[in-house]
Amino acid sequence: MANSTSTAPELTAEQVQAILVQPLEAASLFLASGPRIFDTNGSQIRIPKMGAATSPAWHGENDLITEQDATFDEVVLLPSTMKSVKVITRYSNELARQSIVALDAALKDRLVADVASTIDAAFFGSAGDGIASPKGILGWAGTQVVDAAGAAISLDLLLDAWGKALAANVNIAGLRWFMRPEAFTALRKIKQGTGSNQYVLTPDATADGVFRLFGTQVVITNRLPLDGESQQSVVLADMSQVAVARDLAPSVKVLTETYAAYDQQALRVIARYDVGALNPEAIVKITNVL
């Protein structure tokens, strides 16, 4: 009998979208924050962008117009050396038959959560080199920095970051705050004055449960790493100027024969992503925050 989409263990593109890609974009806090996603067939992609600005000048009638050479730059993502996120989950055929829940759905949820966690840890961090693993937002060169110098998080520090972002001509609608739970909790504890029981930040009874600071949505994640034992970073980023390269062919494969000697099956997931800044100045990092 010929293989078909119903008998082949390799899932079709539509199934991959349904059980991995779409849930992954919802589960990953970084991917759900609105970066520009570029699909590729697995090859390296180059995203062109404008370089340094030219210098137009005022000229009078019959004056020689000064020539200006435009310069261009590019962001390179998904080099051939970039690794993939891979995981294999084994389960016995007895479990598949006797499970009181839909085992495939349970495994899907588990794998989506684990892959999203792995991607967020890489994209929010600074450990990647951009060659074998993605370089996260804290490791990008050219971003703007507000140094807290070991001070506690404060509204003034947030306003300093806000001012730097505005100077970079950001898209206000694309701005997102990224901070750890400890930083957001410290901000919520700020009161209006000594001895006051009134908090400066109060929830909006008409809001939909989305946290906002100075009108910008707050994304709370413990995937932002701690620097040492206690210091951390807070990031204000225009996510419309952040690029994510996504391999268009993530693989979800049911392995029925590999572990047949153990009377087991397995589900293998492979996903390949990369990330970079189209305009590094649109990202402001508040560093060395207690």
Domain residue limits, the chain = 13-50+72-289
Q: What local confidence, expressed as pLDDT, does residue 3 receive?
A: 42
User: What is the arithmetic mean of pLDDT over 4-22?
Assistant: 59
Q: What local confidence, expressed as pLDDT, does residue 93 receive?
A: 87
The neighbour count for residue 95, using CB atoms within 10 Å, is: 12
Measured CA to CA, the distance from residue 205 to residue 215 in angstroms comes to 15
Contact 200, 186 (CB under 8 A): no
Backbone dihedral angles phi then psi of residue 105, each to the nearest 5 degrees: -70, -40
Residues found in the chain = 290
Instruction: Average the pLDDT over each of 4-13, 60-69, 157-166, 243-252 and give the range with the smallest value.
Output: 4-13
Instruction: Average the pLDDT over each of 34-38, 112-116, 146-150, 204-208 and give the range with the smallest value.
Output: 204-208
pLDDT band at 220 (very low <50, low <70, confident <90, very high): very high
What CATH code is assigned to 13-50+72-289?
3.90.1690.10
Q: Which residue has the higher pLDDT, 161 or 200?
A: 161
Q: What local confidence, expressed as pLDDT, does residue 6 receive?
A: 53
**Cα separations in angstroms, 124 against 6, 116, 201:** 39, 12, 26
- CB-side neighbour CA atoms (13 Å) of 111: 26
Highest mean pLDDT among 45-49, 98-102, 118-122: 118-122
